Chains A and B, each alone.
Chain A
Amino acid sequence: MTTHTNQDIQSARDHIPIAEWIVAAIGGLLVTASFGFLAYRASSEREPPSFDFTIEKLVAMNWQTAATVSVRNHGGKAVADLRLRAICTQDQSKEVVIDYVPAKSARRVTFVFDEPMMDSEIKFFVDSFTEP
């Protein structure tokens, strides 16, 4: 049976390399920072969802036009099943449903309109969304 005196144990503890403590400190800092940020987020007010739309690209596809749009949720709450409608001035209406948009995040969608509409204005409407 192996026995150790307090001196042995103290000696073993004294021999823990400094590099281990440095790694432990870096790890501790990272973990504390993550938890700290999460605690800050938990205690701060979350604004309701609000959206803005940016047309990133208009590409002609034969007799159609593909409009790539960035949808940004400026609110502090995520939304799911976001139903969007895009209407261009030629009275064309297209719909898309985005699975979810996290808070303060963006998702990209593409609407395909039936006619060339490079100079037409496009308006976007949010029809509905749910909580994730």
Chain B
Amino acid sequence: MNDAAHSANNDFPTGLARAAGGAMLFSLPMLLTMEMWWLGFTMPATRMAVLLAVTLPTLMGLAYYSGFEKPQGLIGTVVDAFVACCVGGCIASCVLVLTAVVRSSETMLSEGIGKVVLQTIPASFGAVLASSELGTDDRADSDANGNNRTDDNTADDKNGDASDRNAHNDLGCYFRELFLMFAGAIFLAFNVAPTEEMLLVALKMTAWHAIAMGVLSLVVMHAFVFVVKFRGHNSLPDESSQWSVFLRFTVPGYAIALLVSIFCLWVFGRSEGTAFEETLLATTVLAMPASVGAAAARMIL
């Protein structure tokens, strides 16, 4: 067995352990949320299927950019995503059984499966993000040694303005940023969309509140990435391109947050029987956490 294969075999259990830790960290709040248990048996199967059809490719994309193992091509990425699903499913099942939410004596098989499948989604996100959140800097080291995966954080630190200009002008990097914003938005929106509070807050608000919230979301998104200088923040290419960056990154990012929010509200049945304008208010409410998730994902990943 060569050194690379030996190292990969040694890394896998560590990667799995990190994935389990990430799954636990990211999904525990949802595993202990009552609305999520109910959705496990009230959500129509078609919506569950649509949700899986959207989240599985997202997981694969995240596995590519931030998987818990070093990148191993397309097949490796797909395998990583399914391993993350498996880890997420195991963690979700264990917690639901331990908390007696799923009981073999009382819970119907379809109900139990529904609950576990729904909770597997955030747990899988946690599993796939484990490396970037809980791992060491191995990935950055491996990238510096010739890996073709881009890492803006490392490049930003090492190459300063030159890499910034590249990240802001390269089309591949641009769509990567949009994808990361989508993934961050869907993760955070998924966390709060099942709760009844989203619609309730929208009912209490006037349309002016919603507009103010939308403007605030845009400002927060832009400030998160470009102004307050968190770890992994992106520098502006130059002072005069503030508006250009705002229009090309922040505005599409917020549009993605809006689309993700309306999708989550539909999937969780929060828009059922509700007029479009009321749904739009709820969408604006949900887009607030979604846009923070989108901005954070650009820095974390």
Measured CB to CB, the residues of A under 8 A from B are 2, 4, 9, 12-13, 15-17, 19-21, 23-24, 26-28, 30-31, 34-35, 37-39, 41-42, 78, 80, 99-100, 102-108, 132
Contacts and interface: CB of A to CB of B under 8 A. Distances in A.
A17 B170 CA distance: 7
A31 B254 contact: yes
19 contacts: A12-B168, A12-B169, A13-B237, A13-B244, A15-B169, A16-B248, A17-B169, A20-B174, A21-B248, A24-B251, A31-B254, A31-B255, A34-B258, A38-B210, A42-B206, A80-B203, A102-B203, A104-B278, A132-B200
A20 B248 contact: yes
A2 B252 CA distance: 31
Contacts of A28: 247, 251-252, 255
Contact of B244 (A16, A19, A38): A16
Interface in B264-301: 273-275, 277-278, 280-281, 283-284
Given A23-B248, A27-B253, 15 more contacts: A4-B238, A9-B240, A12-B168, A16-B248, A26-B255, A34-B258, A37-B280, A102-B203, A103-B278, A104-B278, A105-B273, A106-B273, A107-B273, A132-B203, A132-B204
B44 interface: no
Contacts of A106: 273
A80 B256 CA distance: 31
Contact of B252 (A4, A26, A37, A104): A26
Given A4-B238, A104-B277, A17 B171 contact: yes
Contacts of B284: 34, 38
Interface stretch (B54-62, B121-129, B158-166): B158-166
Interface residues of B, number: 46
B178 interface: yes
Given A20-B248, A28-B251, A105-B273, A42 B259 contact: no
A106 B253 CA distance: 32
Nearest to A107: B273
Contacts of A21: 248
B211 interface: yes
Given A34-B280, A34-B284, A16 B275 contact: no
B247 A24 contact: yes
Contacts of A103: 275, 277-278
For the complex of A and B, the 10 pairs showing the least CB-CB separation, nearest first, are A27-B252, A42-B207, A27-B255, A104-B275, A102-B278, A132-B203, A41-B207, A30-B255, A78-B203, A105-B274
